[in-house]
Amino acid sequence: MAGKRDQYKSKYTADNRIPGAFDGETMTRRRFMTASAHTAGAVAAASFTIPALGFALAPVFERVPHRWEIAGPTDLFVENNYVPVVVTMQPDLGEVGKQTVYIRKHNDKLDTDRYDSDPRTHPFIAISNRCTHAGCPVRWVEAAERFVCPCHGSVFNILGVRVGGPAPRPLDRFYVRVRNGNVEIGPRYSVNSELRPFSPRGPGEPVDGIGQYLYPAQFDERK
């Protein structure tokens, strides 16, 4: 018992002969200030981290609207050139909810990639006019067979694959179907340089490498 009493350490700082201690206190002022500083630091870090995590994870819970818009009759579109069509993607936003889509008919000589080579699943190719760098509207230049972004100089070839500039991925595409002789535009999706489809990403968000984990995909409601 004597050994245990000798090993007992008082909870009071004065009994432990800590310099500057007061009778009856159980925590030194240094320890109190250290704990206060750590708590304040944790609160400050949380105030930055929690909103950042919310911003990064929000797209995971944002569902892409399931909507099909008539773009025009099938004979309006050709194989070797794009036709710009304005479609309403979000009717509740008025003019802001409209977007230009570049559409052409499937071309066996151009569409040779394994993801879009079957004309039965890709009878028409529909490419977004929003640059994947910052969302600026790109323009199709028929003479050069290029999509050109006027904002930061990104350039995309006839398939929408980036060939120059800061854009992190090819131009996005839209699901397409044919109903009653009309071409209908469905939900948007993103692609990588091999035209492999991915759930839609926002401007500046890559789909390959570590970027696909840093920028979560949105839910896909094309079914």
> What's the pLDDT at 111?
94
Q: How far apart are CA 98 and CA 222, in angstroms?
A: 19
Judged by average pLDDT, the poorest of 73-82, 125-134, 203-212 is: 203-212
Burial (Cβ within 10 Å: 0-12, 13-18, ≥19) of residue 133: buried
For the residues of the chain, what is the DSSP string, one character each?
-HHHHHH---SSTTTTT-TT--TT-SS-HHHHHHHHHHHHHHHHHHHHHHHHHHHHHHHHHPBPP---EEEEEGGG--SSS-EEEEEES-GGGGGGGEEEEEEEE--TTT--STTT--TTT-SEEEEESB-TTT-PBPEEETTTTEEE-TTT--EE-TTS-EEESS-SSPPPEEEEEEETTEEEEEEEEEE-TT--EES---TT--SSTTHHHHSPPPB----
Query: Are 89 and 188 in the same domain?
Result: yes
Residue 2 lies in a domain: yes
Q: pLDDT band for 220, please (50, 70, 90 cuts).
A: very low
Q: To the nearest whole number, what is the mean pLDDT of the chain?
A: 80
Query: Are 40 and 85 in the same domain?
Result: no
Query: Are 139 and 192 in the same domain?
Result: yes
Domain boundary among 27, 61, 95: 61
Q: How far is CA 158 from CA 35, 88, 140, 190, 205, in A?
A: 61, 24, 9, 16, 21
Residue 223 lies in a domain: no
Instruction: Please indicate whether residue 3 or residue 33 has the higher confidence score (pLDDT).
Output: 33
Instruction: Please indicate whether residue 121 or residue 218 has the higher confidence score (pLDDT).
Output: 121
Residues 6 or more apart whose CB falls under 8 angstroms from that of 79 comprise 104, 105, 106, 107, 110
Query: Are 102 and 210 in the same domain?
Result: yes
Query: Are 185 and 205 in the same domain?
Result: yes
> What's the pLDDT at 97?
79
Query: Are 57 and 104 in the same domain?
Result: no
Query: Are 39 and 99 in the same domain?
Result: no
Judged by average pLDDT, the poorest of 49-63, 105-119, 168-182 is: 49-63
Query: Are 145 and 186 in the same domain?
Result: yes
Question: What is the identity of the amino acid at 70?
Answer: I
Query: Are 47 and 146 in the same domain?
Result: no
Instruction: Please indicate whether residue 222 or residue 174 has the higher confidence score (pLDDT).
Output: 174
**Containing domain of residue 79, as a range?**
69-214
> What's the pLDDT at 221?
44
For residue 222, pLDDT beyond 50: no
With beta carbons less than 8 A apart as the criterion, state whether 172 and 130 touch.
Answer: yes
3-state secondary structure 128-167: ECECCCCCCECEEECCCCEEECCCCCCEECCCCCEEECCC
Query: Are 153 and 119 in the same domain?
Result: yes
- Give how many domains the chain has, as a whole number: 2
> What's the pLDDT at 30?
62
Q: Residue 179 has which token pair? A: 């109903």
Residue 39 lies in a domain: yes
Query: Are 86 and 194 in the same domain?
Result: yes
Query: Are 163 and 104 in the same domain?
Result: yes
What CATH number has the domain bearing residue 89?
Answer: 2.102.10.10
Residue 51 lies in a domain: yes
